[in-house]
Structure 1
Amino acid sequence: MSENECVIEASPDAVFSILADGWSYAAWVVGASRIRDVDPPWPEPGGRIHHSVGAWPLLVDDTTTSLEYEPERRLRLRLRVWPAGHGEVEFRVTPVPAGSRVEMTEQAVSGPVSLLPSAVADLVLHPRNEEVLRRLKLLAERRT
């Protein structure tokens, strides 16, 4: 499992305005290159973002599904990462004097990546997720 966190100088509402906007997903998720569709219940459980991963002409169509959603507090997602398997990502947002503390955890739950020792998987996931949080921070702070 990989764990990352950062402080964003924006309210939890501002952070969740991005997390809850499925059309903004490719702007802050490393690897997502375009959004093809967002199911109407997004970010409620069962809602899906249909996105592509990679760069043209080597694009792979994939989906991300919302598993749990607590407005302004928590969002848990199931990622389909073909051919690597599935992963789960959770964002927890808590208010702090400077704005919001965002904690992000990610874990592979199926496929070849799930067979890697945690420390090895973290070598790949941790830097990627630092960049995810950096992008989320830039977007949220720009909106305030």
Structure 2
Amino acid sequence: MSPPAAASGAAAVLSKDIARSFRWMQAFAAVKGKPTAGSCAAGTAVVNPEEPGKVTLKGRYTNFSLQHIWEKYDYLQTHLLLRECLLSQVAKNPRLMDPEINAGLTPTVFMRVPSAGTPQGAASAEPQPKATQNAGKTN
């Protein structure tokens, strides 16, 4: 396979993955904010989006709702989908990811490593003070 053909094949796979991610993002956005059995109080009537004429009673068995907590984490689904798509492509072609702008996909570890020109002992050695003639004498 020639290099231009391989590049166009990789671009096609990448665009397919991105399109799949956008479809999922649209699906999540469509249901965001709509009441579900877990977010409804006991005996709440909900209109079914597939059948607008049908009203169903959801959440009959509980009046406990965690919707106020879940609203903080609505962004996670989108973030995880984008990360999944990008990481699958980076695994196939590492040159896609610029190491300068890693976008937090991998943890950054800071280590003190001596430069290649200096020996390991010389980097940490401090100059010792010179002994004076009066060092051993007491007054």
TM-score range normalised by the length of the shorter chain: under 0.3
Normalized per residue, the structure richer in strand is 1
Q: Which has the higher helix share?
A: 2
Structure with bigger RCO (C-alpha 8 Å, 6+ apart): 1
Which is higher, the Rg of structure 1 or of structure 2? Answer: 2
